[in-house]
Amino acid sequence: MRLYPAIDIKNGQCVRLKKGQFNEVTVYSDKPYEIAKEFEADGAGFIHIVDLDGALKGERVNAKAIEDIVKSVSIPVQLGGGIRTLDNIKEVLDLGVYRVIIGTKAVTNPDFIKEAIHQFGAKHIVVGIDAKDGFVAVEGWEKLSDKTALSLALAMKDIGVQTIVYTDISKDGMLTGPNIEQTKLLSDQTGIDIIASGGMSCMEDLDHVYQAGIHGAIMGKALYEKKICLKDAIQQFERN
């Protein structure tokens, strides 16, 4: 299983939100690149970044902070938040980001994902499915669509997507455990790499993801609040 320590960026700072609410912010560091270096030192093989300002505004406002992270580590970085055009993808990949995560656009314009895969290659394009009560949310989680997470995941598989980040919004930042049942359903039904996101709170949660045969897990708040030790988690779930 691949573990993805997360860095959420808002106004150039490393923060966490509760349930994606922009008025529920905790700031952990004003130097996100230092957090990234710590993750790499602990053995991380990948870093997950969310540009929160980008998700809300649909434009790249944290490019400097993102570039600083990429330059400070030698492991690959994936980035989500506000990537809605082919030019956005090129800009982000040019910053040195290895994979981009596209959410809103996958719902509103599946052909965009197809074209992105054609231009940049499937290994660089990840689809983010953020769901609430089984339905996909868009535009920084501000709106619910009429598509179910499973129907969208299957449609994405059909056009060549190899990796999906699945987030249960009600779990995000709450330290209440991930939605294993729904994540396993997506993994089993699609057969592609599903990364579980939202709610990781302890080693037991990671073990549930591991036992369910899910490809990966994103950890954020649990790392910052010292509820999961990244080094121990990597030793137990990535290297066994």
CA separation (Å) from 55 to 80, 83, 138? 8, 8, 9
Q: Please give the Cα distance from 2 to 213 (Å, whole number).
A: 11
Question: Known catalytic residue: 130?
Answer: yes
Q: Please give the Cα distance from 131 to 30 (Å, whole number).
A: 29
Q: Please give the Cα distance from 174 to 78 (Å, whole number).
A: 23
Query: DSSP strand E in the chain: where?
Result: 2-10, 13-18, 21-29, 47-51, 77-80, 99-102, 125-132, 135-138, 143-148, 163-168, 193-197, 216-219
Which among 51, 130, 168, 172 is annotated as catalytic?
Answer: 130
Question: Known catalytic residue: 133?
Answer: no
Terminal-to-terminal C-alpha distance of the chain: 9
Q: Please give the Cα distance from 53 to 180 (Å, whole number).
A: 28
- Would you state the structure tokens that stand for residue 187, as one six-digit string? 């993994």
Q: Please give the Cα distance from 165 to 194 (Å, whole number).
A: 6
Element housing 63 (H / E): helix 63-72
Which among 8, 53, 168, 205 is annotated as catalytic?
Answer: 8
Q: Please give the Cα distance from 86 to 176 (Å, whole number).
A: 36
Annotated active-site positions, please?
A: 8, 130
